[in-house]
Amino acid sequence: MSLSPIQEKIIEIPGNLIVRASAGTGKTHTMVNKIAKEIDDNHSHKVVAAITFTIKAAQEIKDRLSVDVIHHFIGTNNSFVIEEIIKPFMKDVYGSDFGLDMSTDYSEKVQTYQEGVEKIKTEGVLCSYQDNKKNFIFDLAQEIVEKSAACKLYLQAKYSKIYIDEYQDCDKSMHKFFMYLCDELKIDTFVVGDEKQSIYIWRGAYPEAFKGIWNKPNFERRFMGDNFRSCPQIQNYSNLLCEETRELYEATENLDSIVWLTPTTTNWAAEVVSQIDDGKKTALLRFSNDNARIGADELTAAGIEHIYIPQIPIADITTDTAWLYSAIAKYIIIEKYSAYDLISEIPVEGNESRKMVSAIKKFLNDIALSKDDEQAFCSNTNDLAGYLGYVTRPDHLAKLYRTVSEESFHVAFEPDKYQHVAITFHSSKGLEFDQVVVFAGDYRLSDMASIYNHYVSVTRAKSKLVIVKLNDYNANCFQTNLSRLFSESGVNIGDVVSFQ
């Protein structure tokens, strides 16, 4: 894929840089190209860190980079601070008691910082705060990096640049930490994000951080507004939602791409089916899993089969072993997923030479053969985990068994295989569909969080957006607030959507 002029520019700009990238503007593509170029241009011993919010996004960057990335850090923000700061340097600040093996389990909760530290000392477990808007891991990393001279020198000696994706999802602690690396340790920082796509405010994400960097004097700033995904009308609709993109609005004559339905709770599915093209990829995006599941059934009953992509039981596991449960499930469920794929997902740390491919194949084979016998399955899984140096828990093994044994979960592993799906909009991030169906009642648009959620949902659509407005309180709020937002630009809802 080639680069647009603004993407070219972004790749060339040296030093600290912040990029605001609206949905569909080729953010990941640009970042991957920038990383590749800067790795190639670098002649020193230093490496880069590419930091993402999800393992999936990190894996995607790894897959897309064609250069050798073995010495560079590509991983999630938590793994960055755990592997690069907490595990190696906690002992430098807190004493040799903390040179112990550590594992993570964010389902373990503490009230205070001190309790968190104590838990590491006594159990070797990195946990999280009861208050999900606060971030123990990053508070701890901050403390260590400020107090450990060795840690500072290490980071400065190792990293030439840090790339952070989806910056709008950073919470206050993360922001403080990353800015410390940039401003105090003088490590070049590249930040990309879009506060409009901030859908994690409920768990502490702090879009103000992104805006803060935008105004920092030591950062160059660029805006990527050319949405390559959505058609002009859908771009107009999404740009009108937020103040900073309003001026991008350009009236279009044809309003067929966004359809506003006002059906009843009983006939909505039939109306939606009449609006969408069976031959194109479609997604029903809902706030809750229940509504997504029910919606799929109703649309199917109305004539176009929709597959509900459920939340899988193992999704909420937050220990170090989480990747292994997911990999084992993929090995069993996805036909083309082999032992080699699993090996490629082993987190970078550790002595790989110890792990024999043939042994792993044998373990996986035993697990697959025992998939009808829960006890044998769990025991075989436990053996593989032990071989790889990971610890399992009985409740997690049970979740894994449920994930692989209940077929309804299997669709979640290959959502791309299905033409029409129903999912929550939280899990739609990073995906795109020709046609998207949203429910007005899922977004009251009364606060920024709700506006951002709506922005993310509608920008998943390439060529068609269907808005279902039932006659309920939330949906009416939606309509009122939408008119208000659009009127800021002197636009009526009817100028952008066609009412049916």
Partner 1 sequence: MKFENIKIENFRNFEKIDLDLSNKNIFFGLNDVGKTNFLYALRYVFDKDVRRLNLLDSDFHNKNFVKPIEITVTLDISDTACTDCQKLRAQLKGALLSEHEKVYIRLKAEYDRHEMLALPILYWGGDLEHLQEMKQRGYLYELDYVFNVIYIDSYVDLHALFKKNVNALVKNESEDDKDILNRIQGTVDSLNTHIASLSGIKDFEEKIAPEYKKFRNEGVTVSIKSEIAVKGLYSNIIPYIKQDGDDNLYPTAGEGRKKLLAYSIYDLLSGENAEKKINLFLIEEPENHLHKSMQIALSQILFTDSKYTYLFVSTHSPFVLYEMDNVNLIRIYSERKIKSASTFYKVPGNFEKSRKMLNRSLSEAIFADKVLLVEGPSEQLLFEKILATVKPFYEADGIYILSAGGIGFEAYFAILDALKIHNVLKTDNDLRLDKKTGTYSVLGFSRCNKYIGEKILPVKRVSENTVEAKRKLYDDNKKTLDEVRDKYYIYLSKSDLENDLDEVLHDVLVKYLGDDPVEYLQDAKHYRMVELIEQLSNADCRKIYNHYNFACLKEVAE
User: Which residues form the interface with partner 1 (CB under 8 A)?
Assistant: 43-47, 70-71, 84, 87-89, 91-92, 148-151, 153-154, 156-158, 350-353
Hey, CA dihedral for 190, 195, 199, 204, is it positive or negative? positive
* Least separation in angstroms between CB 428 and partner 1: 38
* Per-residue tokens: 362: 């044998």
For 304, the token pair is 């176009």
CB–CB of 221/214 below 8 Å?
yes
Q: Which is nearer to partner 1, 88 or 430 (CB)?
A: 88
Neighbouring C-alpha atoms within 13 Å toward the C-beta of 434: 12
**Smallest gap from residue 134 Cβ to partner 1 (A):** 26
Residue partners of 498: CB distance under 8 A and separation at least 6: 255, 256, 258, 259, 260
Least distance (Å) between residue 39 CB and partner 1: 12
Shortest distance, CB of residue 116 to partner 1, whole angstroms? Answer: 19
Residue 281 CB-half CA count within 13 A: 12
| Residue 34 C-beta: closest distance to partner 1, Å | 21
- CA pair distance 120, 126, nearest whole angstrom: 6
The DSSP-derived string for 333-391 is: H-TT--HHHHHHHS-S-S-GGGS-HHHHHHHHHHHHHTTT-HHHHHHHHHHHHHHHT--
Minimum distance from residue 68 beta carbon to partner 1 (Å): 12
CA 384 centroid distance within chain: 28
Question: Would you state the torsion angle of the CA atoms of residues 21, 22, 26, 27, taken in this order, to the nearest 10 degrees?
Answer: 30
Cross-strand partners of 499? 260
CA angle 469, 471, 474 (to 5 degrees): 75
Q: Which two tokens stand for residue 81?
A: 């601070």
Question: Which of the 8 DSSP states describes residue 497?
Answer: S
Of 154 and 418, the one with the shorter C-beta distance to partner 1 is 154
Minimum distance from residue 62 beta carbon to partner 1 (Å): 16
In the complex with partner 1, the residue whose CB is nearer, 23 or 48, is: 48
CA 436, 439, 444, 450 torsion-angle sign: negative
Q: Which is nearer to partner 1, 2 or 351 (CB)?
A: 351
- For partner 1, the closer CB: 40 or 372: 40
Closer residue to partner 1 (CB): 38 or 298: 38
CB of 353 to partner 1, least distance (A): 6
Least separation in angstroms between CB 36 and partner 1: 17
Is the CB of 84 or the CB of 105 nearer to partner 1?
84
Looking at the Cβ atoms of 334 and 348, the one nearer to partner 1 is 348
The smaller minimum CB distance to partner 1, of residues 46 and 134, is found at 46
CA distance 173 to 136: 8
Does residue 397 sit in helix, strand or coil? Answer: helix
Structure tokens belonging to residue 66:
């064609």
What is the distance between the alpha carbons of residues 92 and 461, in angstroms, rounded to a whole number?
50
To partner 1, the closest distance from the beta carbon of 89 in angstroms equals: 5
CA dist., res. 363 & res. 385, Å (int)? 10
Q: How far is the CB of 152 from partner 1 (least distance, A)?
A: 9
Query: Which lies closer to partner 1 via its Cβ, residue 45 or residue 336?
Result: 45
- How many Cβ atoms are within 10 Å of 442's Cβ, its own excluded? 21
Shortest distance (Å) from residue 388 CB to partner 1: 16
Structure tokens at 331: 């090995």
Counts for the chain of helices (H) and strands (E), in that order? 20, 15
Q: By the 8 A CB rule, do 449 and 201 touch?
A: yes
Token pair, residue 376, equals 């044998």
Residue with tokens 């994706």: 165
Closer residue to partner 1, CB minimum distance, 142 or 245:
142
Sheet with 498-499, strands from edge to edge, namely 307-308, 420-424, 282-286, 433-439, 461-468, 258-261, 498-499
For partner 1, the closer CB: 1 or 149: 149
Q: Which is nearer to partner 1, 93 or 242 (CB)?
A: 93
Q: How far is the CB of 90 from partner 1 (least distance, A)?
A: 8
